[in-house]
Amino acid sequence: MNILMLSGDFYPKTSGGARDDWKFARAAAAEGHDVLVYADKVEGSERRERKDGVEIRRPYRMRPENDHLNSPRGQLRRIATTVLLFVRLFLLPLRRDISVVYSTNHALHPVAKVIGLVYRIPVVNYIAYSPSINEDDPSKPKSVFVFERLIFTLFLGDLVLSRTPQVERKVRRLSSAETRLVHGILDMSDVRSVDLTRSPDPGGDEVTQLVYVARLVPIKNPAGALSVLEALPETYHLWLVGDGQERAAVEREVRERGLEDRVELLGELPHQETLRYISAADALVLTSYTEAYPTVVFEALSLRTPVHATPVGILPEIDHDRLALASVDALSEQILSAEPRVETGVDDETLERYSMERFAKATLGALEDVQH
């Protein structure tokens, strides 16, 4: 197949969406498909490059440097760069054979739709997350929800892929497009290559070590993790892995709650080191208000680390004996009543079930299906 992939965040960015799109593009190229990706220009990235068999072009910067993407200025810039990208891409099918258009970014779905209609090229959309699942979120302007409804109603293609039933139901309500759930998010080689002999010491048998891994931003609710720890006996300690705009607030809360001796703020760590902390902990805690398909949960499960999480995104649909869900207020009681961790090492069955290889295989199958 000759795949034209329209992405927002992409390599070399390291956000969840960027990693997912990059892993899929590499997997498709490794299978022998021709993959051309148009993505957001970020600081330090080349406008044109070829890496791991993937041809990448980044003609424009969609995100303003000093404004949030959902700010008025951010939305105007996104609209402007979308129009510019449409103009640039409109004649591309006349110069290059394209079998299918694969769009993974809300703002680029209209570009994919119009190109598909004009040139009769099948279009597949991937929607990992919908902000309207949580319309009460005060951090998002109402225009974000209006924009999404417009996209879902008018600009989706032949097939829409999603990871969660909530997103799939949203698409079905607003669009006539066929929908399909796809699973998988983990890089199997990353998990299997973790040097577990170098995992950090959680502090001895007298300490029950918890770990929290997320960006320190409001939607991830890092303060919730501190509340959970505060309600537990003093023998429970917490590694806090991640950085972000709430770092100063988290540090202040640690001091105000008197948790300095029980909380270690580790900041943002390399992925392999983060996995070692997850593997070494007695349990992982996730207190997010909203998630779609939280990678860190599946990484923990694949490393045999029990998970105590809020019931967000796909998690209520997951049946796993090491995954327990509860509200933030009930997590401490749930942790206290849980059986102690007894297993270590990699759980190959879980790893393969939620692997990116599985996702890539299902997505490539979908791209092939729409051409028939």
pLDDT tens-digit readout, 101-139: 999 998 899 999 999 999 999 999 999 877 766 555 545
Q: Is 138 in the same domain as 207?
A: no
Q: Which two tokens stand for residue 255?
A: 């001091």
Count the domains in the chain: 2
Q: Check whether residue 240 and residue 336 sit in a common domain.
A: yes
| pLDDT value at residue 209 | 96
Report long-range pairs for 177-180 (Cβ below 8 Å, ≥24 apart): 177/125, 180/366
**Can you tell me whether residue 185 is helix, strand or coil?**
coil
Q: What is the DSSP letter of 199?
A: P
Q: How far apart are alpha carbons 366 and 102 in whole angstroms?
A: 10
Angle formed at CA 295 by CA 71 and CA 347, multiple of 5 degrees: 180
Same structural domain, 167 and 286: no
Give the 3-state secondary structure percentages of the chain, helix then strand then coil, rounded to 5: 45, 15, 40
Mean pLDDT of all residues in 11-34 = 90
pLDDT digit string (tens) for 26-65? 999 999 999 999 998 888 889 999 999 999 999 988 765 5
8 Å CB contact between 122 and 371: yes
Whether residues 135 and 97 fall in one domain: yes
Range of the structural domain that residue 171 is part of: 2-185+355-369
pLDDT tens-place string over residues 324-350: 999 999 999 999 999 888 888 999 999
Q: Do 259 and 331 fall within a single domain?
A: yes
Distance (Å, whole) CA 271 – CA 258: 30
123 and 266, same domain (yes or no): no
Contact 196, 267 (CB under 8 A): no
pLDDT at 17: 83
Distance, in Å, from the CA atom of 258 to the CA atom of 261, rounded to the nearest integer, reads 8
What's the pLDDT at 141? Answer: 54
**C-beta of residue 71 within 8 angstroms of C-beta of residue 65:** no
Q: How far apart are CA 215 and CA 289, in angstroms?
A: 13
Is 238 found in the same domain as 171? no
Between the alpha carbon of residue 232 and those of residues 79, 119, 205, 216, 333, the distances in Å are 48, 61, 17, 22, 8
Say if residue 174 is in the same domain as residue 236. no
Domain check: are 275 and 331 in the same one? yes
Both 93 and 202 in a single domain?
Answer: no
pLDDT surpassing 60 at residue 247:
yes
198 and 323 share a domain?
A: yes
Say which CATH number the domain at 39 has: 3.40.50.2000
* 226 vs 255: CA distance, rounded Å: 11
* pLDDT category of residue 73 using cuts at 50, 70 and 90: low
155 shares a domain with 57: yes
pTM over 0.85: no
